[in-house]
Amino acid sequence: MSWRVPKFPCDAKIYRIYWDEFPEEVGYVGHTRQKLLSRRMPSHRDCAKNGRTSLVYQKIRERGDFQYELLESIFCQDFDEARRHEKRWSRRLKANLNMISPLLTKEERKEYEKEYECRPEVKARKKKYQQTEKYKTQRRDYLNKPETREHTQTQQAKYWVEYKTRPGVQKKSKENITCDCGSTVRLLNISHHKKTKKHQNFIASQK
């Protein structure tokens, strides 16, 4: 299900997530632009299911479903303003499941964006967009740019170095196998080996 979410400037709803079974705890304070709080909650549940590591998601996994309530609905110019109100509430109540930091940091912004990306309505919109011709053309152009290619190669090289040092892989990398063509090949090199002339000739001779 997806809903139209109002854009800033608009009302921001500051809410609290808590558990009746833990009355001594304030819980988590957040904000949303959704018209109904209940529309914000499914993505919190999704984030918990998807293994997000923030404190509140750990607790949702541990304790199961939660209660929530509106603390304040307040007209805000932009995200930062809404976030300041959220912080004010979270500090005032001493919300114990919020990540502690006095101002909106770069990391927090990232965290928020990650969380935003995991909302069902956002995911659905993104998926729809990715199927448009416009997106496909842009994506192709982007991937073909020399800078992109260079970056991708660097990333792949980095990944490969990291991959080879993993414990399971290190062991595997020392194992040799005998290929159908008669060559002795390191297990890790098998896919490369299958592209070699020797192996290809063998395949051809089998037909």
Binding region for Zn ion (CB under 5 A): 179, 181, 183, 199
The residues, any chain, with a CB within 8 Å of residue 124's CB and separated by 6 or more, are: 2
The minimum distance between CB 174 and Zn ion, in angstroms, equals 19
Contact predicate 54/25, CB 8 Å: no
- Token pair of 48 as six digits: 């918990």
Is the CB of 181 or the CB of 188 nearer to Zn ion?
181
Is the CB of 172 or the CB of 192 nearer to Zn ion?
192
Comparing CA positions, the residue from 106, 22, 59 lying closest to residue 114 is: 106
Is the CB of 10 or the CB of 179 nearer to Zn ion?
179
The minimum distance between CB 162 and Zn ion, in angstroms, equals 28
Q: How many CB atoms lie within 10 A of CB 71?
A: 19
Distances (CA, A) of 133 to 128, 129, 137, 198, 199: 11, 9, 6, 42, 40
d(CA 73, CA 158): 47
The minimum distance between CB 205 and Zn ion, in angstroms, equals 12
Is the CB of 132 or the CB of 189 nearer to Zn ion?
189
The minimum distance between CB 200 and Zn ion, in angstroms, equals 9
Question: Coil, strand or helix: which one is 69?
Answer: strand
The minimum distance between CB 186 and Zn ion, in angstroms, equals 12
Is the CB of 87 or the CB of 193 nearer to Zn ion?
193
